[in-house]
Amino acid sequence: MTMPAYLACQQIARTLLDGAILPPGIADGEHVELGVRSVRPDGRSFHDPSFRWPWPGNWTERVEADQSPRECSFGLHVARGWRGLSALGSVHVVQVVAFRDEDVAFIGSEKMRVSQAGVLNIMDVWQLARDGFLRDANLRGADLTRADLTRADLTDASLYDANLRGANLFGANLRGANLTGANLYDANLRGANLTGADLTDANLRGANLTGADLTDANLRGASLSGANLYDANLRGASLSGANLYDANLRGANLTGASLYDANLYGANLSGANLSGANLRGARWPEGLTPPEAQS
């Protein structure tokens, strides 16, 4: 078996040989390419619930896959990346599949269409993250809405433009992760490690960041309105232009942080440490001025 350069979600393939069951033909050394697709927990297709993918070790029935350039049409779809894998919603259960070159009907930007595929393995993406298989993973554009990523290890992962709305990231390790433009609305990041993470323009409205470590994190232009940053460590963090309207920063450590042009109107800064912080141009809560905040 070969793994082409466009293999979707290569981190998933690390566990491919762990428990993989090879269908007839592949087991005999037949040349195939590999890919992944998102399915319901019972193996049914999200696009057509009447179609159930086989269990590992079996080929699908052969279908007449549409060869037109339409991204979504009749045939068996295989993802080329996380955005394609997320086309129909949050990713949880995925199958590792194999297909022959001659069965490829169409290759699009995010997905490809084949006339037959063999299922090799079924995996729980959330569990893979919790077990550390997605460290340094390219999860760009992934839909992980409401995913249970408790204590997941996503160190140095790219979650650029990912959807993590309502996800549970309690105690997760996101050290050095790229979360630029990510949607973390109402996410639970309590006790998470976001040291050096890039959260530029991220949506963190209503997120719970209690006790989170955001040392040297980049939060430029991030939306943190209504976020809970109680006792969070923001030492050296960049919050330039960030919206912290109504945020809870009680007891937060903002030593050496940049709050240049940040909106702090309505924020709770009780007991916050602002020593050495850049407060130029920041909009302060009513009745509070920078000198008072630092005293």
| Domain range summary for the chain, segments of one domain joined by + | 10-125, 134-295
What are the DSSP calls for 166-182, one per residue? T-B-TT-B-TT-B-TT-
Torsions phi, psi for 168 (to 5 deg): -100, 105
Q: Are 45 and 72 in contact (CB under 8 A)?
A: no
Q: Please report, as a single letter, which amino acid is at residue 235.
A: R
Give me the mean pLDDT over the 91-104 stretch: 91
76-79 β-sheet, strand order: 58-59, 118-124, 93-99, 33-39, 76-79, 111-114, 104-107
Instruction: Compute the radius of gyration of the chain from its Cα atoms.
Output: 23
The residue that leads in pLDDT, 291 or 139, is 139
pLDDT at 4: 39
Q: Could you tell me what percent of the chain has a pLDDT over 90?
A: 64
pLDDT at 281: 93
pTM summary value? 0.87
Residue 43's contacts (CB-CB under 8 Å, 6 or more residues apart) are 52, 53, 54, 55, 95, 122
pLDDT at 89: 86
CATH class (in words) of the domain with range 134-295: mainly beta
**What is the band of 19 on the pLDDT scale with cuts at 50, 70, 90?**
low
